[in-house]
Amino acid sequence: MKRFRMNLAPYLLILPSFIFLAVFFAWPMARSLQLAITRDSQILPVLAEPDTDSRTVGRLEMQIEVAVTDRIKQDELLPNGRTRPVYWFKIAGKTESGSEIEGWVHQKNLFIKSRTESETARVVGGEGEKEWTLDYIDRMIHDYRFQEALKTTLILLVAILPVQFVLAIIMALVLQAQLRGNTLFLYIYAIPLGISDLAAGLVWVSIFTQRGFLNTFLQQIGLIDAPYIFLSNEHKSWMIMAIVLAEIWRATSIVMVIVVSGLQAIPREYLEAGELFGASLWQRLRHIILPLLKPSLQVALILRTILAFQVFAVVVAITGGQVLTVLAYETYRWYDPGDNGFNNPNMASAYAGFITLVSLGFALFYLRTVRTQEEAARE
């Protein structure tokens, strides 16, 4: 009888990838999303007896007013062996939910005017704990800049993606045609890949500013007499146009690289058969190239959609982030501890989580709609 032997080599090879994803992707993402739905708060445990080891009879939130019904003075032992007098107060109060609580608390957790005479006090200390909350998500949704940021991000997504994919396919077909000077075309197409987002934004700012290249050119040919202010609060459409052009110029090459790799995987016999039967370039593109490019287009769509939701530096360079805003900039603004930010990691995490969930939603949509015939037939 032939003994079955399990081949563990593939699992051992893929194990480092799972460890990498768990440590550098899954764990940080889970911690980030946790910030959006949890809140650090201090709750004061009310004890049954004036002793730190006594059982807890209830909990009070910060800043709640309570009645002082009794008090005990004790000697507390210090680390140096000496003692000091401290008070325990018996209090009665109500939680924010309306439940009545009566018990003992240490003086350090109360603000009281007189330890020996006052009949009321306010809770000012307690134990830190995390509580689940949707307050940050609700605050994000009702933030006055959220709808504007979401609208601008979606406008950029709709305006950029179709143009990028058309240009990327044309550029890839030019390279695939093996024309004279083909290498030069590749170098020219790849130039934006070496430029950062911020640098790309600054390049297009220099084009559209009041004394930029575009105004200089239009004045030289006599179309305008004075410089036209493209980037201003009154001309938001021009700002969006500048961002779209900057993103198309900067990131189309990424899509082109993916499309070129997909074109190289298409057997040349298919294209030659199309030519043999008299198919025009458009017919070959529609019936042969695009159907076989679906896996590559799927990857490119997912990548570019995620990057479109993360567009940040280009927007800041062109608009400053104040006139026009996007989701990524709002995430930064809430996290920024500086003078222009709010230093609120919980709200920043809510925005980041929203971007992640929307990106995943688009990715699943692309995986369902842009499928090959083999993928559709397996279902």
What count of other Cβ atoms lies within 10 Å of the Cβ of residue 326? 29
What count of other Cβ atoms lies within 10 Å of the Cβ of residue 69? 11
Q: What is the rounded average pLDDT of the residues 269-285?
A: 84
Q: What pLDDT, on a 0 to 100 scale, did the predictor assign at position 379?
A: 56
pLDDT tens digits, residue range 58-69? 888 888 899 999
Q: Which amino acid is at 172?
A: A
Confidence of residue 375 (pLDDT cuts 50, 70, 90): low
Could you tell me if 68 and 118 are in contact, meaning their C-beta atoms sit under 8 angstroms apart?
yes
Q: What pLDDT, on a 0 to 100 scale, did the predictor assign at position 8?
A: 76
Look up residue 34 and give its two tokens: 């946790």
Euclidean distance between CA atoms 46 and 126, whole angstroms: 10
Minimal CA–CA distance to 195: which of 317, 324, 297? 317
The per-residue pLDDT of the chain, averaged, comes to 86
Question: Looking at per-residue confidence, does 95 or 364 come out higher?
Answer: 364
**Which strand (E) or helix (H) includes residue 78?**
none
Could you tell me if 91 and 110 are in contact, meaning their C-beta atoms sit under 8 angstroms apart?
yes
pLDDT for 232 beyond 60: yes
Which stretches of 68-226 are DSSP H helices? 135-141, 146-176, 182-190, 197-208, 213-220
Query: Domain extents for the chain?
Result: 40-130, 138-377
Confidence of residue 163 (pLDDT cuts 50, 70, 90): very high
Q: What pLDDT, on a 0 to 100 scale, did the predictor assign at position 289?
A: 87
107 by DSSP, 3-state: which? helix
Could you tell me if 352 and 32 are in contact, meaning their C-beta atoms sit under 8 angstroms apart?
yes
pLDDT for 294 beyond 60: yes
pLDDT tens digits, residue range 121-159? 998 888 777 778 888 999 999 998 999 999 999 999 999
Domain 138-377: CATH architecture, name and number where available: Orthogonal Bundle (1.10)
Euclidean distance between CA atoms 241 and 263, whole angstroms: 31
pLDDT tens digits, residue range 1-12? 456 566 777 778
